[in-house]
Structure 1
Amino acid sequence: MATMTGVARRVRRGGLAGVVGAAFSALAQFGLLVVVTRAFTAAEAGAFFTATAVALMAAGVAKLDAGNGLVYFIARAKTYGYLGISGYIRAALVPSAAVACGAAVLLYPRLGPLAVALPVMAAADVLLAATRGFGSVRPTVLLDGMVLPACQLALVAGAAVAGAAGWLPVAWALPYALVLVLAAGLVRGRVPRTPYLPGTGRDLWRYTAPRSLAGAIQAVFQRVDIVIVAALGGPAQAAVYTAATRFRVVGQLAGQGLAQAVQARLVEALADGEAARARELYQATTIWLVLLTWPVWLAYAALAPWVLGVFGPSYGSAAPVALVLAGTMMVATACGMVDVVLTAAGHTGTSLLNLLIAITCTVALDLALIPSLGALGAVVGWSGGVIVKNLLPLWQLHRRYGLHPFGRHTLPALRLRTWTLT
C-alpha cells in the first residue's frame, strides 16, 4: 500500500496538471466572452450564450454520467488486468450517443446546426473519462482543458472579425469533433478489443443509473439560470448575467481538475476500506482548492466594476452579481469535493436527492426574484442552490464516515514540495 505522503504527493502532481488545464480553459473562455460582448450587441451576445447554454445542458443530460461510471469500473478493474474493459467502454458509449442523437433531433428547431454537435460532445466526454479511469489526467487536461477552448476562441474570433453572428454557434461547436477524434485514438491505442463479457452493461448501468439522472440534473443546474434569465428578462439581461458570472468557471474548473486527478484513487481507497487514505485525499484536495481559488474570488469581488467594464459600458452595473458569486464560491470551495467523495463511496442515490433539492431551490428562487431583480435575482437563486448542494453532502459525509474537509492532513499537504506533472 502506498504511504500517506506518497498518496498526497501523487494527488498534488495530478491535481496541479488539472488546475493548469482549468486555468488555461478559464482564460480562453474569458477571452471568448470578451470577443463576443465587444463585437456584437447585447441581444446578439445573449442569444448566443443562451444557445450554447442549452446545448451544454442537453449534452450533459445525454452523457448519462456514463463517464464517471467508466472511471469507477476501470479503476476497480485494475486488480485483474483490466479484463473486459473494452466492453465497459462500449456499454457506456452506445447509450449516451443514442440519447444525444435523440436530443439533437428534438432540439434542431431551436438550435439549428448546433444541435448536430450534441452526439459528438457526449461521445468525446465518455472517451476522455475512460483515459482518467486508467489513472491518467493528461489527455483530459490537454484536449478538454486546452485544445477545445483554444480552438473555440480562435474560430469565434474569426466569426467576430467577419461580423457573422449567425456563425457563432457553428464556430463554437466545431472543435468538439477534433477532441472526439483525438480521444478515440488515445483510447484505441490503450485498450485492446476483448469479448463482451456477460453482465457488463448491467453492472455498469446498475451503478450509473442513479448518477445518470443526477448528472442530468447537475448539467441543468449549472446553466438553467442563463436560460431562465433569457426567458424572463430577455437576451440582453442574459448577456449581462453571463458576463458577470463567467468567473464561476474558475472555481468549477479548478475543482474539476482536482476531481479528475483524485476520483479513481478515492474509489480504490473506499473500495478497499481505507478510510484514512480517503480522508487524506479529501483534506489535501480541499486545502489546495481553497488556496488556488480564494485569491481569485477576493480579487474579483474587489475589482468587479473594473473587470466587468472590459465587456462594455453596459456590463459594469452587474457588480452586485459578482459579489454574491464570489462569496458563494468561497463557501463552496471550503466544503471541498463533497459530491465526488459521496459518489466514490457508492452513494449515488443520495447524491441524486441532494441535486434535486438544490435545483428545486434554484428554480424557485429564480422564478420569484428574476422578474423584479433581473440578473441579481438569478445569482441569488443560483447561490441558494449551490449552498444546499455543498452543505447537504458535507453533513452526510460527517455523519456516515466522520470525514471533514479540514483536519490533521491539511498542514502536511501544504508542506509537501514535489510538483512534478505526470
Structure 2
Amino acid sequence: MTENRDEQSTGDSLATVLSGGALVSAGKVLALGFGFFTQIAMARLLTEAAYGNVVLALAVVNIAGLVAKLGLDDGVMREYPHHEDDPAEAHGVVRASTVITVTSGLVTAIVLFLAAPTIARVVFDDASLIPLFRIGSIAIPFITTSSVAVSLARGARDARVQAYVRQIFQPAARLLFVGGLLLAGFNAVGAISGQIAAIVLAALAAFYMARRSLPSFDVSPNPMYRSVLAFSLPLIAVQGMGFLNSNVDVYMVGYFMNSSSLGVYNISLQLGNIVNSILGTTGFLLPPMLTRLQQRGQNTEMLRTYQVVTKWMVVLIIPVFIVLFFAPRLVIGLFFGESYTRGTLALRILLAGKFITIIMGLNSSALIALGKNRVVSYIVFCETAVNVAINFILIPVIGFEGAAIGMTISTIIGDALGVAILYRRFGLHPFTRSVLSPVAAIGVVSTVGYGTLWLLGLPTYLTVGLVGIAYLPIIAILAPEPEDEKLLTQVEDQTGYDLEVVRDVVSSFR
C-alpha cells in the first residue's frame, strides 16, 4: 500500500509539473514567434549600430530591474508554498512581497533616470544612450511587480499567469508597439519605447491574474517582511551574478568591439537562448513542487519527478538543437540577413554548451527550491568569475567567438557543480538510461550523417532531415518509462481525451 501511494504521489507531481510545463511551453512557442519577429523588425529596420545601442539599453534596464526585485521573485516562489498550509503566513508573504517590490521599483527607477548621463558617458562613452536609459527607467517598477506576481502564482503551482501574460500578451504587444514605432520612423527611441509600453501593460495584467489565482484569505496577514527578505536578499547575489554571467559577454563584446559586432553576436545569442527557454518552460513548476515534496519528506518522489522532467526537457530540445546546430547559416541568413551570418560559429559554440546543461537538469532552481540559495550563490560566483576571465582573455584575440567560448565553459562548470552538490545533499540527479540513451543514439546518427554528407560534397544542413527521420523511432524505443504510462492515463482522466494513438505509435516502434 505504501508503494502504491508513493507511485500515485509521483504521478500526481509529474502531472502537475508537466501539465504546467506544457501550458508554459505552448505559450513560449508563441512568445518565441513574437520575439523572433521583433528581433527581425529591429535587425531589418535599424542599423547594426542602432540595434547594438538598443541591446545595451535593455541590458542596463534589466540590471536595474534585477536589483530592484531584491531576489523576491525567486524568494516568494519558495516562501509561498513553504508557508501555504498556514493562511495567515501565506497572506503575509503575498502582502510583504507586493509592498517591498513596488517600493524598491520606484526608488530604483528614480536612481537610473538621474544617473543616465553618467552611465552613458562614463561606462559606454556614448551620449546617445541617455534618452534610451531614461525611457527604460519607466519600466522598472512594472518589471518588479510583474515578476513577483508571476512568482506568487508559480508558488501556488499556477502556470497561467506566466503563459498567458508573460509569454503571449507581452511578446505580442511588444511586437505591435516596436514594429509600429519603427515603421513610423522613431528608430532606437521607438524600439525602446515599444518595449517599455509592453512591459507596463503586461505588469498590470499579471498583477490582476495573480490575485485571481491566489486564494481569498479570510484571516489577517502575519507580518512576514523579515522572513521574506531573509530568504530573498541572498538571492540578489545569485540573480545578480547569474545575470552578469548571462550578459557579461554582451557587455564585454560591446566594450572591446563596435556596436555592429555586438548586433551580430546578439543574434547568435538570442537564437541560442531558445534552448534555455525550453529548459525553463518545461520545468516551470518543478521548483515549487520540489519544495512541497521536501516538506512532506517524499524523497523518492522528488528523485523521480526531477529525473522524468529532465528527460522530457532533453527530448523536446533535441529537434531545435539539431536545426540550429546543423543549419545555422541558413537560419540566420533567412531571417536576419546575410550580414549577420558572421555569428554562425559563435552560435554553434553556444548551442554545444547549452545542450550539455539541458542534460544536467534544473539543478540551480532545484537547490533554491530546497532552501540552498547560499550554495547557489557560490556556484554562480565561480561560474561568473570563469566567464569574465575567459572573455577578457579571448575577445580581444579572436572576437565574439571568444565570448561564446567563455559562456559555454563557465555554464558547463556551474552546472557540473550544481549536479554534484544536489546529489550529495539530497540524492537527486538527472541521469538515467532514458535520458542518455536517446542522446547517444541521435548523436551517432548526426555525426555519421554529417560526415557522410561532407565526404559526398552534399549540403551538410541535410543532416537535419536525416535526424528528423530517425528522431521519433529513437525516442519511442529508448525514452518511455513506467511513469510515462501513468502520466498519460492521468492526462486522459483530466482532459477527457483518448490518447490511445500515442500508445499505438510508441508500440509500433517498440
TM bucket (normalised to shorter chain) is over 0.9
8 Å CA contact 2:307, 2:431 repeated in 1: yes
Q: Larger Rg: 1 or 2?
A: 2
Match of 1:91 among 92, 96, 103: 96
What are the Cα deviations for residues 30-81 of structure 1, in whole angstroms up to 9, with x where unaligned?
A: 111111111111001111112112212221232122122212122123323x
Does residue 183 in structure 1 map to residue 253 in structure 2?
A: no
Aligned to 2:122: none
Partners in 2 of 1:268 and 1:149 — Cα distance?
Answer: 31
User: Relative contact order, CA 8 A, sep 6+: which one is greater?
Assistant: 1
Other-structure match for 1:135: 157
Aligned position for 1:365: 390
Structure 1 window deviating more from structure 2 (267-276 vs 183-192): it is 183-192
1:168 maps to amino acid: A
Task: Please report how far the alpha carbon of residue 87 of structure 1 lies from its aligned counterpart in structure 2 after TM superposition.
Answer: 2.2
- Tell me: CA distance 1:258–1:12, structure 2 relative to 1, closer, same or farther (3 Å): same
Q: Which residue does the alignment assign to 1:173?
A: 196
Asked if residue 40 in structure 1 is aligned to residue 40 in structure 2, the reply is no
State the Cα distance separating 1:187 from its structure 2 match. 3.3
Aligned position for 2:34: 28
Matched, 1:237 2:261: yes
- Partner in structure 1 of residue 62 of structure 2: 56
Amino acid at match of 1:83: A
Amino acid at match of 2:200: A
- Indicate if the aligned counterparts of 2:81 and 2:291 stay in contact, CA closer than 8 A: yes
Residue 314 of structure 1 is matched in structure 2 by 339
- Which of 386, 402, 409 lines up with 2:427 in the alignment? 402
Out of 345, 354, 359, which is 1:334 matched to? 359
Bigger mean CA offset, 406-415 vs 206-215: 406-415
- Pairing partner for 1:264 from 284, 288, 291: 288
For residue 6 of structure 1, report the CA deviation from its aligned partner: 2.8
For the 8 Å contact 1:37–1:45, the answer to whether it is kept is yes
Secondary structure of the residue that 2:266 maps to in structure 1? helix
CA contact (8 A) 1:86 1:191 kept: no
Q: Which amino acid aligns with 1:169?
A: I
> 2:71, 2:234 within 8 Å by CA — same for their partners in 1?
no
- Structure 1's 247 and 412: CA in aligned 2 closer, same or farther, altered over 3 A? farther
Alignment TM-score, normalising by the size of structure 1: 0.94
For the residue of structure 2 that corresponds to 1:246, the secondary structure is helix
Q: Does 1:228 align with 2:233?
A: no
Compute the displacement of 1:211 (Å). 1.6
Residue type of the alignment partner of 1:384: I
Q: Which amino acid aligns with 2:12?
A: G
Match of residue 250, structure 1, among 253, 257, 274 = 274
Change (3 A) 1:349 1:412: same
CA distance in 2 between counterparts of 1:379 and 1:366 reads: 8
Residue 157, structure 1, aligned to residue 147, structure 2: no
Query: Aligned letter for 2:415?
Result: N
Aligned residue identity for 1:95: I
Q: Supply the AA of the counterpart residue of 2:203.
A: L
CA-atom RMSD in angstroms: 2.0
Q: Which residue of 1 aligns with 2:23?
A: 17
Q: Do residues 107 (structure 1) and 112 (structure 2) align?
A: yes
CA distance in 2, matches of 1:366, 1:101: 34
1:217–1:359 Cα contact (<8 Å) kept: yes
Describe the SS at the equivalent of 2:358.
helix
Could you tell me which residue of structure 2 aligns to residue 417 of structure 1? 488
On the 8 A contact 2:91/2:222 being kept in 1, the answer is no
Q: Which residue of 2 aligns with 1:290?
A: 314
* CA distance in 2: counterparts of 1:94 and 1:396, whole angstroms: 35
Contact 2:253 2:400 in 1 (8 A): yes
**Change over 3 Å in CA distance of 1:345–1:156 after alignment to 2:** same
CA shift digits 1:304-333 (9 cap, x unpaired): 011111212211121101110111111010
Aligned pair partner of 1:207 in 225, 231, 237: 231
Measured in 2, the distance between the counterparts of 1:392 and 1:341 equals 13
The one-letter code sitting in structure 2 at the alignment partner of 1:344 is A
- Matched residue of 1:38: which SS? helix
1:413 Cα offset (Å): 4.5
1:5 aligns to what? 11
SS at match of 1:247: helix
Q: Could you give the per-residue CA deviations for residues 136-188 of structure 1, whole angstroms, max 9, x where no partner exists?
A: 11111110111111111111111221232121101011111112212222233
For the residue of structure 1 that corresponds to 2:233, the secondary structure is: helix
Q: 327-336 vs 170-179, which deviates more?
A: 170-179
- Give the whole-Å Cα distance in 1 for the aligned partners of 2:157 and 2:235: 21
Give 5+ residue unaligned stretches, structure 2.
Answer: 117-129, 436-480, 496-510
Provide the rounded CA distance (Å) in 2 between the counterparts of 1:134 and 1:84. Answer: 14
Shift of 1:240: 0.4
Gaps of 5+ in 1: none
Cα distance in structure 1, aligned partners of 2:227 and 2:263 = 43
Per-residue CA deviation, residues 114-147 of structure 1 (Å, 9 max, x unaligned), is: 1111111111110111111222111111101111
d(CA) in 2 for partners of 1:391 and 1:234? 34
Tell me, in whole angstroms, the C-alpha distance in 2 between the residues paired with 1:350 and 1:115: 32
- TM-score, L = length of structure 2: 0.78
Shift of 1:3: 2.7
Of 367, 373, 377, the residue aligned with 1:352 is: 377
Q: Percent identity?
A: 22
Distance 2:101 2:11 in 1: 38
